Structure 1
Amino acid sequence: MFENYCRQIMQPNRVKFNQSDLECGFPRQDFKLQGIQCTLYKCKITTQSCVLYLHGYNGSRLEIVPYASIILQSGVDLCTFDFQAAGQSDGDFVTFGLNEQLNVILLVDYLSSKYQNIILWGRSMGATTALMYAIKYQNITCIILDSPFYTLDDVILNLIKQKLHTPNLINKGLLEILKRQIQQLYNFSISSVKLPQILNSNCPMLLLASKFDTLIPYHHFTNIFHSYQGQKHIINLYNNHNELRSKDILSTAIGFIQSNITNTIQNNPSNRFIQDFQKHSYIPTGIKIKSKIMRNQSAVNPQKNSAILQKNRALLQLSNID
């Protein structure tokens, strides 16, 4: 029984999709780097800035599609990829950020030859992975962290508590059994997935956090915010973990990006993408996004966040962000 639970944790079902599901109304280029499936969307201007989006656990490149057009309309390009063992990428099991950092290193290195500004935008496991990268490397412009976790032990313990409704003593015992089984099956330690006590980075950070997140307890977000040593800002959401983010939230995140990038628009006729377009490297747009994208995520009432976002925007203006 425990072996099956371990496999569910380490080998979540992959999201299945067709390449046409990646359409968002902008030109895109699909490519593969060392077994990692990637997609690069091109905005309609010449830009030196690109957002690299890191999806969450049990996610894929599809996660960003509902938000892609809004991001691209702001004048930055957008790159996303399937983490190892997710979507259409190679790999046997996830490591919740440890080995996924290598995927980020690969993509940042690839994008650095094309862009002056690279922005990491991660959600859940992707947000934790982005933070792991940011405290080790200083070659990104800024980071947006949507619902990162501080320690994996605590997240799994919270899941056990929610599913079984058993006392903490029993929950901790079950966690230890799971950890031993996973160590034996995958030679992987759950306890190794944790952030350091001091998050030493000079990269500007925007943290999106919700007290209504039932998967990751709110204290993870406050711990990350207080431990982060660089310029930092936090926006409180009113969504559960897997709910879609409102346009107001996206606008705030885009404002944060714009305040940190330089040389956003460069009208350079010798832009590197001209040859790509001439060679038809980018896939034509026009296919409607299918409704199955994010089918497991519930819609959010945009008005729910409106008043809060107006307040937060005012605070951001005082901080010279928006």
Structure 2
Amino acid sequence: MSTTSISPYTLPQAIPGRIQSEIPHPLPRKRKTLRNVLLTIAILILSVVLVFHAYVAWFLARPAIMPLQSNPMLKLGLPYEDISFASSNGTTHMNGWLIPAANSKKSIVFSHGYGENREAPWIPMYTLANELHKRGYQVLMFDYSYAVAGSSHLMTGGVQESKELAGAIQFLKQRGMEQVYVWGFSMGAGTALQTALDEPNIDGMILDSTFLLNSDTLSRNMKRLAKLPKYPSVPLIQMFSSLIDGIHLRDIPYKQVMSKTYNMPIYFIHGDHDQLAPYEVVEQLAEHQSSPLSQKWIVAGGEHEMIHQTQSKAYLKRTFGFLDKVSLEHSKQAGTVHKPI
């Protein structure tokens, strides 16, 4: 009988009828390297996307503001008073100019737009202030707290700005004004609508190129910066905005404004070629108003905040005609009729 010697170096063979356990083999080095490269690229892309949207949110909350270039005396030869006042919630203080009108109890406050200050160079603020002064209105021009060069305050889409505009209105009432009107531009017009939800001392408003911030207008304006889809861009910007300034789009009372029937007369001015704020929003707003003195003027071919530039004579005629009618009606109701100047 022969015996078979087994060398200690001989690998055991598989035993018939028994499953041989498999020894896991490591992934080939090339496959591991490819996986790591793809993971790194994905992380870099995600980081770039997040950083970009964080920058946009930061930029929106901190627009670049030019320093003031002049004043009513230098520009118009009109005496003025440097003023300061607090927001209605007492959290911010604003500075401005008050251009007085002798023996007048009528006043108007300008509500400037996003990225502007009280001078708003592409809006003829000084021209309008001069014309209003001639017609017997005391004029208040001020900067929102974020709209000061070097300010640490952040833009909040009208949430805090509406409290600041309310502070300006209360300042004028404390000065004995019987009639207070608001003339708003772009986001300043949207802010005026937010203010009027709670502030009863507004006797009328002129709203030029009304801009109300919501997800649609945010997406529309985002596309002007880059061709990005609404999702996930808008949710990401909302998230970073909440982290930066504590304000979320849901904090802006968009639905309340859109469904509100305001007590005071409102003159809506808008262009049907406005690329920043769709004129259909103004059409919808105008439908909700019940005052017989409320009006709308949708300008064919008109662009954002450019209607005065292209329709200057009609612009002044229409706006001052509106103010004259509203002021006269207010005086009749108060029993103090004054002949328009």
Same fold, judged at TM 0.5 (above)? yes
Selected match of 2:324 from 251, 258, 261: 258
> What letter matches 1:2 in structure 2?
H
Find the counterpart in structure 1 of residue 171 from structure 2.
Answer: 110
Give me the whole-angstrom Cα distance separating, in 1, the residues matched to 2:221 and 2:235.
Answer: 14
Find the counterpart in structure 2 of residue 188 from structure 1.
Answer: 247
Contact 1:36 / 1:89 at 8 angstroms: preserved in 2? no
> What letter matches 2:143 in structure 1?
D
> Moved runs in structure 1, 4+ residues, more than 4 A?
88-91, 263-266
2:278 is equivalent to residue 226 of structure 1: no
* Aligned residues between the structures: 262
Find the counterpart in structure 1 of residue 114 from structure 2.
Answer: 57
Give me the whole-angstrom Cα distance separating, in 2, the residues matched to 1:135 and 1:89.
Answer: 31
Instruction: Give the Å deviation of 1:103.
Output: 0.8
2:256 is equivalent to residue 205 of structure 1: no
Give me the whole-angstrom Cα distance separating, in 2, the residues matched to 1:65 and 1:29.
Answer: 15
Instruction: Give the Å deviation of 1:202.
Output: 1.2
Find the counterpart in structure 2 of residue 42 from structure 1.
Answer: 100
Find the counterpart in structure 1 of residue 189 from structure 2.
Answer: 127
Give me the whole-angstrom Cα distance separating, in 1, the residues matched to 2:71 and 2:130.
Answer: 15
Instruction: Give the Å deviation of 1:89.
Output: 9.1
Selected match of 1:4 from 55, 77, 86: 55
Find the counterpart in structure 1 of residue 30 from structure 2.
Answer: none
What aligned pairs does 1:1-322 form with structure 2 within 5 A after superposition?
1-20=52-71, 23-34=75-86, 35-43=93-101, 45-63=102-120, 64-87=125-148, 91-113=152-174, 114-166=176-228, 170-193=229-252, 194-196=254-256, 197-231=258-292, 232-237=294-299, 238-243=301-306, 245=308, 246-261=312-327, 262=331, 263=336
Contact 1:183 / 1:189 at 8 angstroms: preserved in 2? yes
Find the counterpart in structure 2 of residue 287 from structure 1.
Answer: none
Give me the whole-angstrom Cα distance separating, in 1, the residues matched to 2:150 and 2:96.
Answer: 9
Give me the whole-angstrom Cα distance separating, in 1, the residues matched to 2:116 and 2:279.
Answer: 22
| % identity of equivalent residues | 19
User: Which is further off, 89-98 or 73-82?
Assistant: 89-98
Match of 2:181, SS state, is: strand
Give me the whole-angstrom Cα distance separating, in 2, the residues matched to 1:172 and 1:250.
Answer: 42
Instruction: Give the Å deviation of 1:46.
Output: 2.2
Q: Which protein, 1 or 2, shows the higher relative CO under an 8 Å CA cutoff with sep ≥ 6?
A: 1
Instruction: Give the Å deviation of 1:60.
Output: 0.8
Instruction: Give the Å deviation of 1:84.
Output: 1.4
User: Which is further off, 92-101 or 134-143?
Assistant: 134-143
Instruction: Give the Å deviation of 1:229.
Output: 4.2
Instruction: Give the Å deviation of 1:265.
Output: 5.2
Instruction: Give the Å deviation of 1:157.
Output: 0.6
Find the counterpart in structure 1 of residue 19 from structure 2.
Answer: none
Give me the whole-angstrom Cα distance separating, in 1, the residues matched to 2:224 and 2:70.
Answer: 36
Match of 1:207, SS state, is: strand
Give me the whole-angstrom Cα distance separating, in 2, the residues matched to 1:141 and 1:12.
Answer: 31
Once the two structures are superposed, residues 40-72 of structure 1 have per-residue CA deviations (whole angstroms, 9 ceiling, x without a partner) of 1123x4211001110001111102223221222
Superposition CA RMSD, Å: 2.2
> What letter matches 2:287 in structure 1?
H
Match of 1:16, SS state, is: coil
Contact 1:141 / 1:204 at 8 angstroms: preserved in 2? yes
Once the two structures are superposed, residues 187-226 of structure 1 have per-residue CA deviations (whole angstroms, 9 ceiling, x without a partner) of 2102322241421321111110110111111122112112
Instruction: Give the Å deviation of 1:247.
Output: 3.2
Give me the whole-angstrom Cα distance separating, in 2, the residues matched to 1:264 and 1:48.
Answer: 12
Give me the whole-angstrom Cα distance separating, in 2, the residues matched to 1:181 and 1:259.
Answer: 46
Instruction: Give the Å deviation of 1:264.
Output: 7.1
Q: Which runs of 5+ in 2 are unaligned?
A: 1-51, 87-92
**Structure with the greater alpha carbon radius of gyration:** 2
Instruction: Give the Å deviation of 1:130.
Output: 1.1
Give me the whole-angstrom Cα distance separating, in 1, the residues matched to 2:152 and 2:283.
Answer: 33
Change (3 A) 1:230 1:95: farther
